[in-house]
């Protein structure tokens, strides 16, 4: 498609969508709202402009570094948010966007420079302040003439795979260059939709049959027998399977967690970081709605989603606490649970293919901060668990600091109190014996870590 198909008004829409994308989550909603407002949604330009929008968010850390260099500010976060959005769009279109370079490059670039100087600069002046529009007008030529060259392999990969140097450096340390490339390629693939069948309301056979009648080509997971995968798009709002609670949106790696913990009917189970409730609901299924699940979380919106999910799926044994799970031993008492699930807060680095904003948000400081929280939560889990009970520790992180390092530290501190129960399948061995990992490049699913503990003695 020719660059002429995009107008100055379309570029303005991109700026507005990117600005609102910082405020509205998920950012896709901001894009949909703005594209509808500007008459783009559903037109022949929608696909191209949507691709540009997603490229901006995939590359935003690199765009911001160039904006910082061009403006001379140390951190673009201090800039007017409308100016920051306009700079991101201008840098993406004038420096990186491939569809422009595939046309008559100089003509295309000159046309987009005029778009930014005339339409976008005026839009900024009218929307925020005349000085902002004038300042942006002056920066457009600097952006158009900027020559970006990667200084080393990590910077080259940062551009090619659109993830931060922090993530790349950590993967290189963990896996080496060849496997790191495979993981980074996986981050830029579109994964199929993944749903889990609620066996209390339906069967895999029934769901497969209905999906096929809807024109979907479902494939049953080879790792989790109740998970079905299929290519999107799929309108869950109109799906009777979804409305009736017969399917739950869940990837196969997290869907394995409840199966590994194996809660039984009549048991007392604690889900320490429960919302939005996919694993809580799954445990309720496995318990056949018999027993008690205490679900802890601190996020009100996610708790609301969990309540909606439990109601839709018919799980009635869950008692919800809007509390920090580190306080659970004080609230419930010690040695009260047969099983404890700790799907710990983490960097979510194994889910970048779905959560685009994580490409640039993960920092070294955040990794260490989360490790401290994970250890504190795991200590609370040990206190909550009865002698002979089990704890499943999981994260959707790829980083050793949040996974094997946490396990090693907790085993050392509670030697004689807990032991690892070896996990051997269906995914790959972890980096220490007895643990297990799902890898995007090996298993075509989210990166996920599992460690199963048994409490063998009370804490003295």
Tell me, what's the pLDDT at 237?
Answer: 87
CB distance 159 to 51 below 8 Å: no
- By the 10 Å C-beta count (0-12 exposed, 13-18 middle, 19+ buried), 47 is classed as exposed
Select from 346, 224, 179 the least CA-distant residue to 273.
346
What tens-digit pLDDT sequence spans the chain (460 residues)? 444 578 999 999 999 999 999 887 767 888 989 999 999 988 888 988 999 998 898 889 999 999 999 999 999 999 999 999 999 999 999 998 776 655 555 678 888 999 999 999 999 999 999 999 999 999 999 999 998 888 899 989 998 998 999 999 999 999 999 999 999 999 999 899 999 999 999 999 999 999 999 999 999 999 999 999 999 889 898 999 999 999 999 999 999 999 999 999 999 999 999 999 999 999 999 999 999 999 999 999 999 999 999 999 999 999 999 999 999 999 999 999 999 999 999 999 999 998 877 898 899 999 999 999 999 999 999 999 999 999 999 999 999 999 999 999 999 999 999 999 999 999 999 999 999 999 999 999 999 999 999 999 999 7
Q: 136: which 2 tokens?
A: 């942006």
Distance, in Å, from the CA atom of 317 to the CA atom of 269, rounded to the nearest integer, reads 10
CA atoms within 13 A on the CB side of 44: 7
What pTM value is reported for the model?
0.86
Residue ranges of domains in the chain, CATH in brackets: 3-148 (1.10.940.10), 154-187 (no CATH), 193-249 (3.30.70.1170), 252-455 (3.40.50.150)
**Which pairing describes strands 227-230 and 219-220: parallel, antiparallel, or unpaired?**
antiparallel
CB atoms within 10 A of CB 235: 9
Which ranges constitute the DSSP H helices of 79-129?
Answer: 81-91, 98-101, 105-114, 121-127
For helices 8-21 and 27-37, what crossing angle results, to 10°?
Answer: 150
Tell me, what's the pLDDT at 101?
Answer: 57
Strands across the sheet with 193-197, in order?
Answer: 219-220, 227-230, 193-197, 247-249
Tell me, what's the pLDDT at 99?
Answer: 63
Distance, in Å, from the CA atom of 423 to the CA atom of 429, rounded to the nearest integer, reads 8
Tell me, what's the pLDDT at 375?
Answer: 98
Select from 393, 389, 361, 387 the least CA-distant residue to 375.
393
* Interior angle at CA 198, CA 192 and CA 200, nearest 5: 170
Q: Which residues pair with 294 in a beta bridge?
A: 270, 319
Long-range contacts of residues 424-430, Cβ cutoff 8 Å, at least 24 apart: 426/222, 426/223, 426/224, 426/256, 427/223, 427/253, 427/256, 430/403, 430/404
Tell me, what's the pLDDT at 233?
Answer: 85
| Residues noted as catalytic | 396
**Which pairing describes strands 337-343 and 268-271: parallel, antiparallel, or unpaired?**
parallel
Q: 366: which 2 tokens?
A: 């955040």
Tell me, what's the pLDDT at 382?
Answer: 98
Tell me, what's the pLDDT at 2?
Answer: 46
For helices 46-58 and 8-21, what crossing angle results, to 10°?
Answer: 40
């Amino acid at each position: 498609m020719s660059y002429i198909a995009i107008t100055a008004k379309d570029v303005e829409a991109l700026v507005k969508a990117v600005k609102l994308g910082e405020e509205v989550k998920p950012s896709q909603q901001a894009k949909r709202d703005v594209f509808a407002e500007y008459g783009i949604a559903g037109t022949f330009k929608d696909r191209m402009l949507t691709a540009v929008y997603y490229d901006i968010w995939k590359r935003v850390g690199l765009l911001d570094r160039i904006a910082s260099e061009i403006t001379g500010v140390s951190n673009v976060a201090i800039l007017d948010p409308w100016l920051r959005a306009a700079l991101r769009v201008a840098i993406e279109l004038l420096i990186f966007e491939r569809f422009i370079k595939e046309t008559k490059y100089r003509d295309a670039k000159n046309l987009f420079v005029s778009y930014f100087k005339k339409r976008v600069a005026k839009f900024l002046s009218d929307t925020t302040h005349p000085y902002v529009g004038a300042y942006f007008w002056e920066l457009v030529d600097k952006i158009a003439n900027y020559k970006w060259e990667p200084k080393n392999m990590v910077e080259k990969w940062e551009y090619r795979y659109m993830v931060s140097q922090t993530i790349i450096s950590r993967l290189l340390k963990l896996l080496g260059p060849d496997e790191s490339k495979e993981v980074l390629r996986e981050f830029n693939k579109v994964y199929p939709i993944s749903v889990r069948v609620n066996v209390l309301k339906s069967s895999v056979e029934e769901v497969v049959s209905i999906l096929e009648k809807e024109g979907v080509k479902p494939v049953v997971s080879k790792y989790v027998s109740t998970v079905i995968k299929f290519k999107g798009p799929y309108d869950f709002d109109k799906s009777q399977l979804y409305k009736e609670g017969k399917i739950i949106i869940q990837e196969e790696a997290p869907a394995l967690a409840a199966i590994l913990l194996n809660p039984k009917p009549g048991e007392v189970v604690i889900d320490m970081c429960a919302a939005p409730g996919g694993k809580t609901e799954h445990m309720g299924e496995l318990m056949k709605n018999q027993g008690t699940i205490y679900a802890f979380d601190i996020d009100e919106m996610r708790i609301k989603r969990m309540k909606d999910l439990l109601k839709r799926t018919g799980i009635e044994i869950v008692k919800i606490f809007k509390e920090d799970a580190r306080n659970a031993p004080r609230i419930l008492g010690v040695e009260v649970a047969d099983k404890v699930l700790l799907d710990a807060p983490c960097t979510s680095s194994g889910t970048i293919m779905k959560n685009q904003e994580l490409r640039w948000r993960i920092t070294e400081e955040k990794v260490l901060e989360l490790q401290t929280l994970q250890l504190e939560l795991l200590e609370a889990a040990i206190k909550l668990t009865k002698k002979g009970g089990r704890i499943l520790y999981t994260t959707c992180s790829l980083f050793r600091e949040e996974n094997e390092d946490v396990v090693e530290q907790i085993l050392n501190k509670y030697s004689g109190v807990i032991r690892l129960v070896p996990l051997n399948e269906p995914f790959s061995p972890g980096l220490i014996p007895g643990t297990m990992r799902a890898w995007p490049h090996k298993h075509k699913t989210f990166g996920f870590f599992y460690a199963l503990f048994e409490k063998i003695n009370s804490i003295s």
